[in-house]
Chain A
Amino acid sequence: MKTIEERQTTWMDQTMPADERAAFEAELSSAERNYLEQERAIVADLREGLRHHLAAPPLEAPDFFNHRIMQTIREEETVSQPADTPAGEASESSFWHRLGRLAWLGAGAVALAVVLTASMIPRGGEHAPIDYSAQVIQPRVPADVDGISAVAFHSEESDLTVLWLDGLEYLPDTHAIN
């Protein structure tokens, strides 16, 4: 079933089929019929006003209008079909293509270098698991001796003690490890 908007629009535009128009007009009171007749006249005046006042100016520079369209089409076809381009244009486009590819390769190499370096450099604060629990035994190094340090590592689990002496070429007989 047609909406009232459809019925009124086709009636106003006088495009309503004859039998449908007769049925539609039969539903209207005389006041409603007069109202719609006035509405139809107003729409007709509005139509004249639209056609008169909205008339477009002439298209300026019509030949240039065509030229710009065809030029744009040719340019876009050239970009999308590089194999068909003349040699000069092809070498220029392949240069930029190579440059772009080179940039990607460079970026990839830098990224790989960063990953490798990061994985190989020991991080401060992180300690690889050690077999020995560090138990530093306070070294008793004579005060008059320079450049000697002693650090001891002991592992209860392994029942092992490692004494690390640094700066000594030999252990004097007068000194013993207690």
Chain B
Amino acid sequence: MNADIDDNELVARSQQGDHAAFEELVTRHRRKAFAMIYQMVRNEQDAWDLAQEAFIRAWKSLPKFKGDASFYTWFYRITTNVTIDWLRKKQIAGEKEFDDEVAVREADPTSRLLPKRTALPQEKMRSAEIGDRIKAAIDTLSPEHRSVILLKEVEQLQYNEIAEVMGCSIGTVMSRLFYARKKLQTLLRDVYEND
């Protein structure tokens, strides 16, 4: 299909039942959808399956898409919801515990205004060890906090785009981002300390 056709045109055709148009949307957004989901669930097969589910749900929801948001953010919202639902089910099944209380206890804004730590000594640590620590720290975040920090730091979305994707206010996005960063800093505290 012609790469010059924009997403809105493809969406309009898809809403008329044009499978080829929808498949072009899949081709354009599959890589990013897979990457975003992978960063959340950290398993290739699960990410593959969830990306499939996100696109199928998007197809079924096309009649509800009014074009007031870009297809990109609308679809990313579906992707985020699919992923968070899946993570929550895993939590209910007892496979994972998320504790955002660490962030709340540790991140009292009024008590953290004095410098207490030194610069990150990445030059003194193997990259793989740092990666493992970062991944483990990310895994402790709740789905909502994990999603907001990945959308901001990795996907580089703006606050308003993140709010649209997550279906919350910009203030909520900033609050979650603040506490997610604080929690990661707390969990990776020893990575920052000198030997």
A residues with CB within 8 A of B: 2-6, 8-10, 12, 15, 28-29, 31-32, 34-36, 38-39, 41-43, 45-47, 49-60, 62, 65-66, 68-70, 72-74, 76
**Interfacial chain B residues near A55, Cβ < 8 Å:** 35
**Interfacial chain B residues near A35, Cβ < 8 Å:** 112-116
**Interfacial chain B residues near A32, Cβ < 8 Å:** 113-114
| B112 to chain A: closest residue by CB | A35
* Contact A72 B52, CB 8 Å, known A54-B150, A59-B30: yes
B26 touches A45 (CB 8 A): no
* Contact A57 B154, CB 8 Å, known A31-B114, A35-B114: no
Q: Which of B48, B174, B179, B181 contacts A10 (CB 8 A)?
A: B174
B69 at the interface (CB under 8 A from A): no
A53 touches B134 (CB 8 A): yes
**Interfacial chain B residues near A12, Cβ < 8 Å:** 181
Comparing B2-10, B72-80, B81-89, B117-125, the segment that makes contact with chain A is B117-125
B59 at the interface (CB under 8 A from A): yes
Q: Could you write out 11 A-B pairs with CB less than 8 Å apart? A: A42-B119, A43-B185, A50-B138, A54-B135, A54-B150, A55-B35, A57-B38, A66-B27, A69-B56, A70-B26, A72-B56
**Interfacial chain A residues near B23, Cβ < 8 Å:** 66, 69-70
A42 touches B192 (CB 8 A): yes
Whole-angstrom CA separation of A56 from B36 in the bound complex: 8
Q: Which of A53, A56, A74 contacts B130 (CB 8 A)?
A: A53
B44 touches A60 (CB 8 A): yes
B residues with CB within 8 A of A: 19, 22-23, 26-27, 30-31, 34-36, 38-39, 44, 47-48, 51-52, 55-56, 59-60, 109-110, 112-117, 119-120, 122, 127, 130-131, 134-135, 138, 149-150, 153-154, 159, 171, 174-175, 177-179, 181, 184-185, 188, 192
| A37 to chain B: closest residue by CB | B115
Nearest CB in chain A: distance from B151 CB, A: 11
- Report the tally of A-B residue pairs with Cβ distances under 8 A: 133
**Interfacial chain B residues near A42, Cβ < 8 Å:** 117, 119-120, 185, 192
Nearest CB in chain B: distance from A81 CB, A: 11
* Contact A66 B30, CB 8 Å, known A5-B109, A54-B138: yes
Whole-angstrom CA separation of A28 from B154 in the bound complex: 30
B150 touches A46 (CB 8 A): no
**Interfacial chain A residues near B179, Cβ < 8 Å:** 5
**Interfacial chain A residues near B110, Cβ < 8 Å:** 4
**Interfacial chain A residues near B138, Cβ < 8 Å:** 50, 54
Whole-angstrom CA separation of A74 from B36 in the bound complex: 26
A6 touches B115 (CB 8 A): no
